[in-house]
């Protein structure tokens, strides 16, 4: 009986342990989900750049976590993804920094990209990542791209002026499109930029018209400038803009400026003649430099214009020598004229010019001309005497008018010399009365002579002259 009891007891314990073991296998928890954090160091090369991360289950390629940092904040920082990892699963952490700042993934080394693999996750996990150049092409998908069109109206105030339009990622501060219209063509027109807008991103459209025509951005109201903000992009976008005075200083950067130097050789045919040099924006037709050499000094000489050339623009250098010495441009061969074309400017530029006869009619504008009249009074001492008068370009030292009065007619009279004065030029009027009657000039007081200066003539001019004894020796006349 005792043996039977002992057998029963052993059997009961055996069944109990077997049943407990069976129950333990079926109810024990599988583990997880576990949290994931990443600790970054050495990220200085990417501060301010976008960074995107994906956590991908290796087993079925499902996406466990996906996050984007608009701008890397500092050299060292952390990211927490929460409880995303399943016990026993393996994961790839794929991430990249937008080194070229175009808002899209580009395979290394254009952008920097890495893959970290987690094997058989069994606990909360923190990954320490120190920046390195062991890049992996993680094949991040390109985002959908949308087109941008701008429709302008009411642009009459800017017809013929340069218009510059920049499309800028409003968070990332990168320019995704930049267009220059050399001259606004009409009151209404359209610009098409193509597929430049990334799905889900926001943009500013900054644009300005070069009202003062200097080829550079100047804050309003000197130039006219505007900003249009586009919300999160989801489709092809058309923006309609009607000209207005709600200007915005968009802070468009000034372009680098480059120096121009001209080195002349073989200029002996023009020594002593006036030389005029104009530097003209070949697209915009504005003059950025205009220099007058009153008299060519020698066979070889140099002109320096300073920083006048805007980076990336093209220019014509139009120049002429006043061969006939009339103070005005006359088409070759009456005067000698040339044109030199400069390609897109990238550096300080020196142009070497050797005199030649490959002339170009540069169409240099004729300057306005003004009349000159002399009103004499108190001339009784010289009635009946010869009087001679010269009008001389005081810069160029050339005679533009030589007039002889056979006999002074009266105490008071007027002498009209015609339209002889070039706008903005300076002259002197030299004249004498032949007091001793020998028919030629003798220095005062033998003859009576005077000099009257005219500075920067801008209108028809009448000079009143009252006889006096403030004589000037006007020799060598």
Read off the CATH number of the domain in which 285 is found: 2.60.40
From first to last of its 477 residues, the chain has per-residue pLDDT tens of 344 434 343 333 333 333 333 333 333 335 679 999 999 999 999 998 989 999 999 988 888 988 888 889 999 999 999 899 999 999 999 999 999 888 789 999 999 999 999 999 999 999 999 999 999 999 887 778 899 999 999 999 999 898 999 999 887 777 888 888 878 999 999 999 988 898 888 999 999 999 998 888 999 999 999 999 999 888 999 999 999 999 999 999 888 899 999 999 999 999 988 899 999 988 777 788 888 887 899 999 999 998 889 888 899 999 999 998 887 899 999 999 999 999 989 999 999 999 999 999 999 988 788 999 999 999 999 999 999 999 998 877 778 899 999 999 999 999 999 999 988 788 999 999 999 999 999 999 999 999 999 998 999 999 999 999 999 999 876
- pLDDT at position 101: 84
- pLDDT at position 142: 76
Q: Same structural domain for residues 376 and 428?
A: yes
Q: Same structural domain for residues 16 and 42?
A: no
d(C-alpha 344, C-alpha 352), whole Å: 17
- pLDDT at position 30: 52
Report the SS3 class of residue 151: strand
pLDDT in tens, 5-25: 343 433 333 333 333 333 333
Q: Same structural domain for residues 376 and 459?
A: yes
137 assigned to some structural domain: no
250 assigned to some structural domain: no
Contact indicator for 18, 25 with CB cutoff of 8 Å: no
189 assigned to some structural domain: yes
Q: Same structural domain for residues 402 and 454?
A: yes
Q: Same structural domain for residues 38 and 21?
A: no
- pLDDT at position 216: 87
472 assigned to some structural domain: no
How many domains does the chain divide into? 5
- pLDDT at position 263: 97
Q: Same structural domain for residues 154 and 70?
A: no
The DSSP string of 353-383 is EE--S------PPPPPEEEEEEEEES-GGGB
d(C-alpha 152, C-alpha 146), whole Å: 20
252 assigned to some structural domain: no
Q: Same structural domain for residues 337 and 266?
A: yes
Q: Smallest Cα–Cα separation from 339: which of 359, 321, 365, 356?
A: 359
* 216-236 core/surface letters (b: 16 or more CB in 10 A; e: else): bbbebeebbbbbbebeebeee
Q: Which residues, including other chains, have CB under 8 Å from residue 429's CB and lie 6 or more apart? A: 372, 374, 389, 390, 391, 392, 451, 452, 453, 454, 463
Strand duo 189-198 + 301-310: pairing: unpaired
361 assigned to some structural domain: no
What are the tokens at 132? 């390195």
Strand duo 336-342 + 315-321: pairing: antiparallel
Given 301, 322, 354, the domain boundary residue is: 354
339 assigned to some structural domain: yes
- Print the domain residue range for 399: 369-466
Give the DSSP letter of residue 331. Answer: T
d(C-alpha 48, C-alpha 173), whole Å: 10
Q: Same structural domain for residues 216 and 294?
A: no
- pLDDT at position 260: 96
Contact indicator for 52, 59 with CB cutoff of 8 Å: no
Q: Same structural domain for residues 42 and 99?
A: yes
pLDDT in tens, 300-345: 999 999 888 988 889 999 999 999 888 789 999 999 999 999 998 9
**Residue 173 backbone class (left: φ over 0; alpha: ψ -120 to 50; beta: rest):** left
Report the SS3 class of residue 218: coil
Cα torsion 268, 270, 274, 280: sign: negative
Going along 253-408, which residue ranges are E strands? 257-265, 275-281, 287-293, 301-310, 315-321, 336-342, 349-354, 369-377, 387-393, 398-405
Q: Which residue has the tokens 């009065």?
A: 405
d(C-alpha 433, C-alpha 450), whole Å: 9
- pTM of the prediction? 0.51
d(C-alpha 296, C-alpha 229), whole Å: 56
Q: Same structural domain for residues 153 and 211?
A: yes
474 assigned to some structural domain: no
Report the SS3 class of residue 307: strand
Give the DSSP letter of residue 235. Answer: S
Is the preceding omega at residue 264 within 30 degrees of 0, hence cis? no
Q: Same structural domain for residues 236 and 178?
A: yes
- pLDDT at position 341: 96
Q: Same structural domain for residues 105 and 59?
A: yes
Partner residues linked to 369 by β-bridges: 422
């Amino acid at each position: 009986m005792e043996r039977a009891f002992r057998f029963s007891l052993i059997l009961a314990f055996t069944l109990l342990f077997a049943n407990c073991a069976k129950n333990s296998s079926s109810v024990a928890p599988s583990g997880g989900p576990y949290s994931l954090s990443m600790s970054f160091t050495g990220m200085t090369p990417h501060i301010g750049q976008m960074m995107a991360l994906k956590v991908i289950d290796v087993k079925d390629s499902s996406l466990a976590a996906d996050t984007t940092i608009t701008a890397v904040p500092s050299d060292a920082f952390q990211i927490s993804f929460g409880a995303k990892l399943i016990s026993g699963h393996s994961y790839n952490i794929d991430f990249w920094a937008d080194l070229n700042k175009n808002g899209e993934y580009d395979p290394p080394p254009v952008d920097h990209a890495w893959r970290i693999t987690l094997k058989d996750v069994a606990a909360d996990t923190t990954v320490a990542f120190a920046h390195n150049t062991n890049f992996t092409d993680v094949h991040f998908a390109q985002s959908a791209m949308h087109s941008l069109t701008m429709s302008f109206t009411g642009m009459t105030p800017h017809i013929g002026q340069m218009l510059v339009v920049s499309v800028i990622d409003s968070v990332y501060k990168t320019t995704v499109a930049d267009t220059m219209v050399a001259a606004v063509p009409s009151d209404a027109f359209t610009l098409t930029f193509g597929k430049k807008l990334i799905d889900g991103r926001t943009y500013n459209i900054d644009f300005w018209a070069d009202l003062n025509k200097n080829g550079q951005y100047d804050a309003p109201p000197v130039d006219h400038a505007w900003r249009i903000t586009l919300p999160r992009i989801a489709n092809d976008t058309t923006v309609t803009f009607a000209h207005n005075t709600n200007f915005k200083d968009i802070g468009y950067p000034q372009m680098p400026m480059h120096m121009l130097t001209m080195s002349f050789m073989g200029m002996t045919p023009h020594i002593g003649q006036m030389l005029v040099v104009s530097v003209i924006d070949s697209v915009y037709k504005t003059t950025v430099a205009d220099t007058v050499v009153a008299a060519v000094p020698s066979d070889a000489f140099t002109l320096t214009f300073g920083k006048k050339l805007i980076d990336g623009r093209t220019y014509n250098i139009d120049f002429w020598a006043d061969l006939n010495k009339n103070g005005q441009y006359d088409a070759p061969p009456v005067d000698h004229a040339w044109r030199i074309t400069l390609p897109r400017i990238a550096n300080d530029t020196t142009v070497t010019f050797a005199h030649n006869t490959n002339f170009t009619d540069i169409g240099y504008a004729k300057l306005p001309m003004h009349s000159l009249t002399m009103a004499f009074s108190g001339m009784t001492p010289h009635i009946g005497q010869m009087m001679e008068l010269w009008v001389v370009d005081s810069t160029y030292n050339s005679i533009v008018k030589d007039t002889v009065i056979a006999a002074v007619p009266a105490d008071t009279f007027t002498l009209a010399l015609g339209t002889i004065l070039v706008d903005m030029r300076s002259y002197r009027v030299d004249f004498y009365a032949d007091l001793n009657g020998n028919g030629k000039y003798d220095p005062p007081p033998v003859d009576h002579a005077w000099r009257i200066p005219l500075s920067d003539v801008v209108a028809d001019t009448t000079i009143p002259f009252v006889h006096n004894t403030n004589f000037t020796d006007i020799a060598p006349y």
